[in-house]
Amino acid sequence: MIEVKNLTKRFSGRGLGDSGVLALESLDLVVKDNEFVTVIGPSGCGKTTLLRIIAGLIPHDEGQVEVNGTPVQGPGPERAVVFQNFALLPWADVLTNVTFGLRLQGVSKTEREERGMEFVELVGLGGFERRLPKELSGGMQQRVGLARALAVDPEILLMDEPFGALDEQTRRLLQEQLLEIWERQRKTVVFITHSMEEAVLLADRVILMSRRPGRIEQEIDVPLERPRSGEIERSQAFVDIKEGVWDHLRRMQVGSEGFGPTFERHMAG
């Protein structure tokens, strides 16, 4: 379980008289074990900052961040991160990239290659294990990043807009593949996105963040049946929840409050 309590983060200014940027202020969030949570909010609201703090990649100024009751003081083996920019080793082939974390853990070459191939196959890259990143499409590179994260068997998967740089067709295919993998493994997932459709399609719960300084503005349960596929996006329940998310985001950014009538009708029903 992830527990974030009264979290505040300020980035220092660059010169005299520059007080810096208050990115997050008094933010509280709980993510339960095996829960898939998506986080969405206005541009610059601190979504990525929140994820990087949970990952232990940057420090926070005030508050507490705990994973399974232990304070986060840096990266840990129970957490793995998938970035938007792939972050692959350009000189290493697919299998070497996938097994990189296992190598750091001291796993033997034979075992890590066996485990690595399992996850190469899982993300649909069988036959490409000896290709270099430059020989792969963007979608294939992101599959490598996902396989690398899964190979170390983390309890928690932290995903920072992993499909944001991909074309629409590839994005939809990877969304469906991620849903299939999650159904098999049921990791705890925190997924940052700017897409309302993606936020609702993937999540058990959608977290809406306020404008900077970021706080949790609203938490929206997504009571859609699992397993899911892209077909669910045509259902009226999906459309109502998505429109409700948009109602709130729009009103928040123009200074109004509350959900639109479409969302209220759906939740009442």
Q: Is residue 110 part of a domain?
A: no
Q: Is residue 188 part of a domain?
A: yes
202 backbone dihedrals φ, ψ, rounded to 5°: -90, -30
Helix (H) or strand (E) holding 96, with range, is: helix 94-98
Assess contact for 188 and 141: CB atoms under 8 A: no
Neighbours of 262 (CB within 10 A): 16
| pLDDT attached to residue 252 | 79
Q: What is the pLDDT of residues 83-98, one digit of tens each?
A: 888 889 999 999 999 9
Give the count of domains, the chain. Answer: 1
| pLDDT attached to residue 16 | 53
Tokens 């690595």 belong to residue: 116
Q: Please state the pTM of the whole predicted model.
A: 0.89
Task: Report how far residue 32's alpha carbon sits from residue 65's, in angstroms, rounded to the nearest whole number.
Answer: 14
Which strand ranges, in their side-by-side order, compose the sheet holding 62-67?
A: 21-31, 2-11, 62-67, 70-71
Average pLDDT over residues 14-25: 76
| pLDDT attached to residue 259 | 46
In the chain, which ranges are E strands? 2-11, 21-31, 36-40, 62-67, 70-71, 79-82, 156-160, 188-192, 205-209, 216-221
Q: What angle do CA 154, 209, 71 make, to 5 degrees?
A: 40
CATH number of the domain to which 160 belongs: 3.40.50.300
Average pLDDT over residues 72-78: 93
Q: What is the pLDDT of residues 176-213, one digit of tens each?
A: 999 999 999 999 999 999 999 999 999 999 999 999 99
Q: Is residue 51 part of a domain?
A: yes
Q: Is residue 134 part of a domain?
A: no
Q: Which of 17-26, 121-130, 234-243 has the lowest mean pLDDT?
A: 17-26
Q: Is the pLDDT reported for residue 262 higher than 80?
A: no
Q: Is residue 115 part of a domain?
A: no
Q: Is residue 228 part of a domain?
A: yes
Average pLDDT over residues 248-253: 83
Q: Is the pLDDT reported for residue 269 higher than 90?
A: no
| pLDDT attached to residue 245 | 92
**Which residue type does 46 have?**
G
| pLDDT attached to residue 258 | 46
Q: Is residue 40 part of a domain?
A: yes
Q: Which domain holds residue 246?
A: 2-78+154-268
